[in-house]
Structure 1
Amino acid sequence: MPETKPFAYCDQLVKQFEAVIQKPIPGRSSFYYTGVDLGTACVVLTVLDDSRKPVAGAYRYADVVRDGMVVDYLGAIQIVRELKAQLEQQLGVELEYAAAAIPPGTDLLDAGAIKHVIQGAGFEVTALLDEPTAANAVLQISNGAIVDIGGGTTGISILKDGKVVYVADEATGGTHFSLVIAGAYQMSFSEADCFKRDPAHHQELLPLLRPVIDKVASIINHHVVGHEVKELYLVGGTCCLSGMETIIEQKTGIATYKPSNPLFVTPLGIALNCTQEAM
Structure 2
Amino acid sequence: MSQKSLNHHNSDLFVKEFEKVIEKPKTEKSKVYYTGIDLGTACVVISVLNEYHQPVAGAYKYADVVRDGMVVDYIGAIKIVRELKQEIEEKLKTELIYGAAAIPPGTDVLDSGVVRNVVEAAGFVLTNVLDEPTAANKVLNIQNGAVVDIGGGTTGISILKDGEVVYIADEATGGTHFSLVLSGSYGWPFEEAEVFKREKKNHKEILPILKPVIEKISSIISRHTDHRDVREIHLVGGTSCLTGIEKIIEKRTGITTYKPRNPMFVTPLGIALSCTQEELE
TM superposition score category, shorter chain reference: over 0.9
After superposition, residues 51-130 of structure 1 pair within 5 angstroms as 51-130=52-131
- How many residue pairs match? The answer is 279
Question: Aligned equivalents of 1:75 and 1:134: distance in 2?
Answer: 24
Cross-structure match for 1:200: 201
Query: TM-score scaled to structure 1, two decimals?
Result: 0.99
Q: 1:215 to 1:2 in 2, by over 3 A?
A: farther
Question: Aligned equivalents of 1:230 and 1:23: distance in 2?
Answer: 39
Question: Aligned equivalents of 2:7 and 2:116: distance in 1?
Answer: 30
Question: Aligned equivalents of 2:188 and 2:56: distance in 1?
Answer: 38
Cross-structure match for 1:6: 7
Could you tell me which runs of 5 or more consecutive residues in structure 2 were left unpaired when the two chains were aligned.
Answer: none
Conservation of the 8 A alpha-carbon contact between 2:142 and 2:163: yes
Alpha-carbon shift at residue 5 of structure 1 (Å): 1.1
Alpha-carbon shift at residue 2 of structure 1 (Å): 8.1
Question: Aligned equivalents of 2:182 and 2:139: distance in 1?
Answer: 32
Question: Aligned equivalents of 1:244 and 1:92: distance in 2?
Answer: 40
Cross-structure match for 1:220: 221
Question: Aligned equivalents of 2:29 and 2:11: distance in 1?
Answer: 22
Cross-structure match for 1:278: 279
Question: Aligned equivalents of 2:268 and 2:29: distance in 1?
Answer: 21
Question: Aligned equivalents of 1:80 and 1:142: distance in 2?
Answer: 32
Question: Aligned equivalents of 1:201 and 1:16: distance in 2?
Answer: 26
Query: TM-score scaled to structure 2, two decimals?
Result: 0.98
Conservation of the 8 A alpha-carbon contact between 1:218 and 1:252: yes
RMSD: 0.9
Question: Aligned equivalents of 1:20 and 1:244: distance in 2?
Answer: 27
CA deviations over 1:69-120 (Å, ceiling 9, x no partner): 0000000000000000011111111101100000000001100000000001
* Identity over aligned pairs, percent: 63
Question: Aligned equivalents of 2:26 and 2:3: distance in 1?
Answer: 32
CA deviations over 1:19-66 (Å, ceiling 9, x no partner): 000001113311100000000000000000000000000000000000
Conservation of the 8 A alpha-carbon contact between 2:16 and 2:261: no
Conservation of the 8 A alpha-carbon contact between 1:144 and 1:229: yes
Question: Aligned equivalents of 1:8 and 1:102: distance in 2?
Answer: 26
CA deviations over 1:231-260 (Å, ceiling 9, x no partner): 000000001100010000110000011012
Code of the residue aligned with 1:174 in structure 2: it is G
Structure 1 stretches of at least 4 aligned residues deviating more than 4 Å after TM superposition: none
Cross-structure match for 2:238: 237
The DSSP-based 3-state class of the residue aligned with 1:118 is helix
After superposition, residues 130-209 of structure 1 pair within 5 angstroms as 130-209=131-210
Could you tell me which runs of 5 or more consecutive residues in structure 1 were left unpaired when the two chains were aligned.
Answer: none
